[in-house]
Every structure is written in structure tokens, then in C-alpha cells.
Structure 1
């Protein structure tokens, strides 16, 4: 049987905002080795509440989304306007200046059994389409990825993103090198 291609699955994804009821699921995902390696995030109930609570309550400008495939939670996506985070934008600017209307996303596939099945590129492509319809003023999506995380930047490329820059940025995990790839996808 043929493996589904990225574009075959784009229409089957749905997205909903993360609620406080999702925190146990997020904590479990953040504890898995394949997520913890790149996210370097605490997963205690207090830490998840601290880091995801403001977004879930609408107190933070970023948005956290669950990605569901056939109704089953598979991944987490975070989306923000670059302009909402001046410190992050200032760090990024020497490497690449996101244009007006640019958003950024971060993402993960939660369960270990879902990794390596082509779900990442499909989820990213579907969420980008979701972004175009939900944020009509968005011009592009610009994503910096630590260069050592080949699976992550390859998922972006498979979803249609193109490399636009490379340079040093602060990594999410202090064990990583500062070298990042920056990928971009323009609104069609």
C-alpha cells in the first residue's frame, strides 16, 4: 500500500486551540525523548501551566494549537506574529529580517509512534493553509530551526518552505550549537 503524500493528508487535519484540559497531554508529549531533545521544556504540571496557561487563557499574543488527525491529537503548533515579540525579532534581525505581516510557527509530533511517518510535513502544510485563511493579513511564515535538527527543517522543506538564511541564534536547548537555518513560505 502506498504511503500517503503530504498533500494527500493536508485536508484531513483539523486544529483547535489548546485549553487547560490539554495540559496533561502536553506534559506527556514534552516528557518524551524525541520532543525533550529539541524543546528542552519542563513537563511538571506547574511548568506546563506556567508556560502554556497564558496562551490558553488569551493573556499572551502567541497561540497554541492542537493538531488532530481524524480527531486524534497528534501534534502541537505554536504561532505568533514576529511583531508581537520585539526581543525575538531583534535577535533574529541580524540573521534575517522577517517582513511586515510575517508569522512564525513551532511544532512537534507528540507520540513516538507517530514520528517518521510523514505527519510533520503534512501537519505543517495544513497548518500553514489554516494560517492563510485565519490570518488574511499574514504575508509569510518565517521559521528559524537549529541546523542540527535536520528532521525539523526537512519537514518544513517538504511542506514547501525554502531556506532563506543561516546564522547564529540562541538555541532552545543549551546543548545545541547556535547555528540555525531560517526557512520561509510566502502566502500563495
Structure 2
């Protein structure tokens, strides 16, 4: 069973461990000191910004982090993405990591994505689409999106999070079921 709850400051040590893990740090190129985790996740945990950070558990064990936001709430992201694909006004984006290395490669990512998509339709009734750009080199991430039912709608050069990555991104979309 998949559940999630808003990330709180008590979760920051776990998030720091996940961000430091090589399988996560490669794609989530974040600092993982306590100060950096507080800086990057504190505003969301305190409700001071529109983006949401969720701790995802499978069968009661925390295994992943899911971020969710309306694309239009972050102007720089909206501008970059809408230069490449049409972005509906209420479109949402997701980002995710599997922190528990024991859950990597077991289909958990696609299960969590499917679950988050269903929750997003319920939580954002005006959203008609979920649009997710993924660096092309992150094969596991875009394969999880495809297994979850996303459609690749474009390829584009976008600013990569990790400076060692090429700019090429695949852009995926889920459309609200009619």
C-alpha cells in the first residue's frame, strides 16, 4: 500500500541521507548538509511556498520523495518549458526519487508515479495535464514514467540539474482522463 504525507523537518535527516546516496545524488544534484536540506525543503515543509514535498511510504516504510507543483507557480520553469511545449494554465509537474536503494529496480517508481498521478487529478481538479521533463540520460526515470502511462511529447535542450549532464531532456505528459 502506498501512502504519503507532507515532508516535515523531522524527515530532513532521512532526506539528507537519501540525497547523499550515490544512486540519488547522480540525478538529484543537491547539497545534503543539514543547512542545505533546511534551505531547500524547509519553505515547503512550513507551507511558505506553493510546491509540495511528500514523503512516500510503501507498506508503512518510507522509500521515496515526491515533489509536486503547478508549473505556473515557478515562472522560470514555466518559461523554459512553455518555450518547448504547450503548458496549460493549471498543469502540474512531478519530481521524484527512490531513496531506499533496496526498492530501486523493483517497479516501485512506476507504482508511485501512477499513484501520484491519480492523487493529483483529485487534488488539482482544474489541472488538465501533468508535464514532466527528464534528463535523457536518466533512463530509469523516463522508463518509470512510460511504465506508469506517460507519453513522451517532446525532446528539448533544457538546463540540466547536474552540470555533467547533456542538455537533452525528454518531456512526458499525462492527460486527465475524460
TM-score category (smaller protein) = over 0.9
The correspondence for 1:154, drawn from 143, 155, 158, is 143
Deviations 1:75-120 (A, max 9, x none): 0000010110111111112221211221000000001111011100
* Counterpart in the other structure of 1:28: 17
State the superposition RMSD in angstroms.
0.8
The yes-or-no answer on 1:173 pairing with 2:162 is yes
Alpha-carbon distance between aligned partners in 2 of 1:73 and 1:117, rounded to the nearest angstrom: 15
Alpha-carbon distance between aligned partners in 2 of 1:60 and 1:73, rounded to the nearest angstrom: 23
**TM-score (normalised: structure 2):** 0.97
Task: Tell me the secondary structure at the aligned position of residue 154 of structure 1.
Answer: helix
Q: 4+ runs of 1 displaced by more than 6 Å?
A: none
Task: Name structure 2 gaps, 5 residues minimum.
Answer: none
Task: Tell me the secondary structure at the aligned position of residue 27 of structure 2.
Answer: helix
The correspondence for 1:120, drawn from 67, 84, 109, is 109
Task: Name structure 1 gaps, 5 residues minimum.
Answer: 1-11
Alpha-carbon distance between aligned partners in 1 of 2:70 and 2:26, rounded to the nearest angstrom: 25
* Counterpart in the other structure of 1:102: 91
Deviation at 1:135, TM superposition (A): 1.5
* Counterpart in the other structure of 1:42: 31
Task: Tell me the secondary structure at the aligned position of residue 26 of structure 2.
Answer: helix
Deviates more, 1:174-183 or 1:134-143: 134-143
Number of equivalent positions: 177
The correspondence for 1:63, drawn from 48, 52, 71, is 52
Alpha-carbon distance between aligned partners in 1 of 2:117 and 2:158, rounded to the nearest angstrom: 24
**TM-score (normalised: structure 1):** 0.92
Task: Tell me the secondary structure at the aligned position of residue 79 of structure 1.
Answer: strand
